[in-house]
A and B are shown apart, each in its own frame.
Chain A
């Protein structure tokens, strides 16, 4: 398909373990975003990649969270030493330019992370 793809769709991990979440954006989209959505909540911005520029990491909640985007395409969000409060749905989105009109975000279906 041509949409944003995320894997795994579900992840259950034990407290203290590290996890990696993957996002394949729409081909050709230069902007990629990660959001976190807790139950019944809105979308919490985590990090933003735009082309080859340095990422905007201002939303990362702690230094346990990090993300990479390799070759301007696939992105990986890594959470180290997971805590129960990290349990949420992690959504990835991409947009053609990330700027302005006619460049909306296209979301994947998310990874539901459960930390036990």
Chain B
């Protein structure tokens, strides 16, 4: 899972399997969360967001789950494809500040 630190967590999945990427956030006052995808040589791209008054939100092939009790966020990617290989960041937002974790590197094995 994702955490603040020197080493980038990695996750390898077979093409077609589901992926789950985890994130622990720190500020119980954070009221908005976003998952970003960053491909090599590019800036982070918005994937999906969720507000703190929700516990689940679904998009196209992606689902974000929020557990405020344990301050945990997860991103589920259904039927993972080679194009999903990237680094995934969660961001917690408090007022106007965005706090990012180190990221998780996802590799999809064909």
Binding between chains A and B? yes
Distance in angstroms between the alpha carbons of A109 and B96 in the assembled complex:
22
Chain A interface residue count: which class?
20 to 34
Distance in angstroms between the alpha carbons of A107 and B38 in the assembled complex:
10
B41 touches A48 (CB 8 A): no
A4 at interface (Cβ–Cβ under 8 A)? yes
A104 touches B34 (CB 8 A): yes
Residues 15-61 of B contacting A (Cβ, < 8 Å): 31-32, 34, 36, 41-46, 49, 51
Q: Looking at B4, B36, B98, B103, which has the most chain A CB atoms within 10 Å of its CB?
A: B98
B89 touches A43 (CB 8 A): yes
B51 — nearest CB in chain A belongs to which residue?
A: A101
- Given A41-B6, A45-B98, A104-B49, 13 other A-B residues pairs in contact with their CB atoms under 8 A: A31-B96, A35-B100, A40-B7, A42-B100, A42-B102, A45-B97, A105-B34, A105-B91, A105-B98, A107-B43, A107-B44, A108-B43, A110-B43
Interface residues of A (CB under 8 A from B): 4, 31, 33, 35, 40-43, 45, 48, 50, 56, 91, 93, 98-102, 104-110
Please name the 8 residue pairs, one residue from A and one from B, whose CB atoms are nearest each other, closest first: A107-B43, A43-B100, A42-B102, A42-B100, A40-B8, A98-B96, A109-B43, A104-B46
